[in-house]
A and B are shown apart, each in its own frame.
Chain A
Amino acid sequence: MMKRLMALALLAALAALAQAEPLSKAQMVEILKGIDIRVRASGDYKALVYLEQREKDKPDVAREALVYRRDADQKLMILFTQPKTEAGKGYLRIDKNLWYYDPTVGKWERRTDRERIAGTDSRREDFDQSDLANQYDPAYLGEEKLGAYSVWHLKLTVKDGVDVAYPLVEFWIDEATGNDLKRQDFALSGRLARTSLVPKWERLYSASKKADLWYRKEIHIYDEIDKANSTLVVIKSVDLDPLDENMFTKAWLEAKSR
């Protein structure tokens, strides 16, 4: 793992020297793998997330949720804790299905794991580990300046047979750190659907991973179709201590919802 990260750092340094030299496909895949590796928690993961949704002609809605992950088993659970009207609602991924639970009706609904989370502009993948290198084929669009940062501009096209929410994605990746700072998602028609800005990344040491775990501290998501809508996602805290062994179950979420 450390070797891979060092290789990535070396790659970043070389690329910085080369400057205008376009990245090869292998280099781009390595960069994507780097993002996938650094956000993956090999052990358990728990985050307190603040979600703020803004929509035209509607009052802003703020939510708080706990995100639980066990990346080795592809487990994910999102449990809303605030406001009171949303408390107890949650999402649980079992195998390839995403289930939604609403305690007011006491029923589980099967949802597509590519739909919006709680009606905001965020998607499941904004809270989950990523698999960019396996899902997309990258293409190099150039080297650009994003504010003070030098970034690689990559265009990712979904591979055949892979189901993703957006088949075309553009990334702006910080040359110095390898972190994505901006992302644009395009619909199947080619229309820009949403823009995400990541002004802040943070990291903490993961004992199980024996390396740092990186996470996007803040994500600003802008709806590019309904331009008045936006969502702010802030990860307030991350805890990498082991979670209960049997917590990724419907019964556990239902019990927490009571």
Chain B
Amino acid sequence: MRQLFLIAFRNLIQHRRRTLMLGGAIAGVTALLVVLLCLSAGVKATMLESATTVVTGHINVAGFYKVTAGQTAPLVTDYKKVQALVERTLPDLDFVAARGRGFARLVSDQGNMQVGIASIDLAHEPKLPKVLRMREGSLDALAKPGSVLLFESQAKKLKVKTGDSLIFSVLTPRGVNNTVDVRVAGVAEDMGLLSSFSVFVPDATLRQLYQMNESTTGALLVYLKDMRRIPQDMDLLRKALSQAGYTVRDRQGKAFWMKLADINREDWTGQQLDLTSWEDEISFISWTVKAIDGITWVLTTVLLVIIAIGIMNTLWIAIRERTREIGTLRAIGMQRPMVLSMFVIEAFCLGLAGTSLGALLGTLAAAFLNSLHLAVPTGAAIFLMSSTLKFAFDPARILGGAAVITACTTLIALIPSFKAARMKPVTAMSHLG
């Protein structure tokens, strides 16, 4: 086997020009794949960070409360009991944050917009200060009732800055119009689509707006130490909540606000709980990651097919050039499987060298592009969840991509290699080409 590798290596060195061209092409495709994989991982990481900061926990224990059959509010009543049950049930819980949820018209002197409101208690939100990047004002000022934290694009649309006044206007769960005057506590850097329609207010402000009592919240955002446990933990919670007598809705894989119209049509009143994962809550935007992944694999497949044809052609030529050599080797006793292995190993070595170089170049290119903080157009920023292009490194995916390309280049070499292995020694030795 060692000798086969030696022959393959010497052949590759001997045909330096051909090796460089083919190896270069494999390296190029691998580098492109790695850059796109890093982009996809970057978008996913940003999406996760943005989603689990702005709208969702790793798991959400939310609920719907209906005063009458036609009026649904995203509320969990007597939430401290539910929170205690969550804390008892989950073994790897990091922390739980209770957040109020609502929708309101936010009006300034210069404009208005519909927003989703999340109420926060900063004392129980250890992650938020680490993730939110303030453009102006301060996050701490949000502790004061009657304040609001906006994101850049919202402040721009409403033409307000820190200290300006705004009015929230809502229909309470009982259908009564209510308003609350608030002051802008600060403006945070945009975090993609989610931050374009979400604002933060102190708990007391949301309670005042919706006339909610202290025992009611919108959802319990559950953060785990290990995100891989989300499916198991959701099952655990479902069982525990059902056993405790709560009505838990079937999982729909949708954000809570997408369910409101359907729930309004249902004829029940009272409380139902709803368990969702972070992916459910951003299901309406997660297509962006799938789209990037799709484009990556389509592009890579097309390039891979071109390279495969190139490799096959090159091996055909190599076999033709080395027909007499094959005949001699067969005549001195080399078996067919060894001839087959000789060419396959050559293709494997070429593929491995090309993909290794490509993966290295791709990683360096992604790191370089990441350091440039390239700005993306506003429209794209909404879906990429960031105003700059972000690349993240997922070694498993990079190695996986490189392995797939190496495997493809090796497998495609089987066809001409079979032909070489099938040659009769006499025919091969008398070959004149």
Contacts and interface: CB of A to CB of B under 8 A. Distances in A.
The yes or no verdict on A and B being binding partners is: yes
Interface stretch (B42-50, B66-74, B310-318): B66-74
A166 B177 CA distance: 6
A111 B265 CA distance: 9
B167 A191 contact: yes
Contact of B176 (A97, A98, A164): A164
A188 B211 contact: yes
Contact of A226 (B68, B105, B172): B105
B175 interface: yes
Contacts of A97: 68-70
A163 B265 contact: no
A96 interface: yes
Contacts of A112: 70-71, 171, 175
B196 interface: no
A187 B70 contact: no
A163 B100 CA distance: 23
Given A56-B111, A97-B69, A109-B265, A225 B179 contact: yes
Given A96-B68, A110-B69, A225-B107, A163 B176 contact: yes
Contacts of A164: 176
A165 interface: yes
A149 B385 CA distance: 59
Contacts of A163: 174-176
A185 interface: yes
Interface string A176-190: 000000000101110
B411 interface: no
Nearest to A116: B171
Interface residues of A, number: 27
A90 interface: no
A140 interface: no
Contact of B169 (A98, A114, A167, A225): A225
B177 A226 contact: no
A248 interface: no
Interface in B170-225: 171-172, 174-181, 208, 211
A167 B172 CA distance: 12
Interface in A105-156: 107-115
Residue among A57, A109, A110, A185 with most chain B CB within 10 A: A110
Interface in A216-248: 225-226
A187 B71 contact: no
Nearest to A98: B70
Nearest to B71: A112
A110 to B, nearest CB: 4
A193 interface: yes
Contacts of B181: 189, 191
Contacts of A109: 261, 264-265
Interface string B145-188: 00000000000000000000001010110111111110000000
Contacts of B208: 189
The 9 lowest CB-CB distance pairs between A and B, nearest first, are A110-B70, A188-B178, A114-B175, A112-B175, A110-B264, A187-B179, A97-B70, A191-B179, A187-B177
Given A96-B68, A189-B180, 10 more contacts: A110-B70, A111-B264, A112-B70, A114-B176, A115-B175, A163-B174, A163-B175, A163-B176, A187-B179, A189-B208
9 contacts: A97-B68, A97-B69, A108-B265, A109-B264, A110-B264, A110-B265, A113-B175, A188-B179, A189-B179
Interface of A: 56-57, 96-98, 107-115, 163-167, 185, 187-189, 191, 193, 225-226
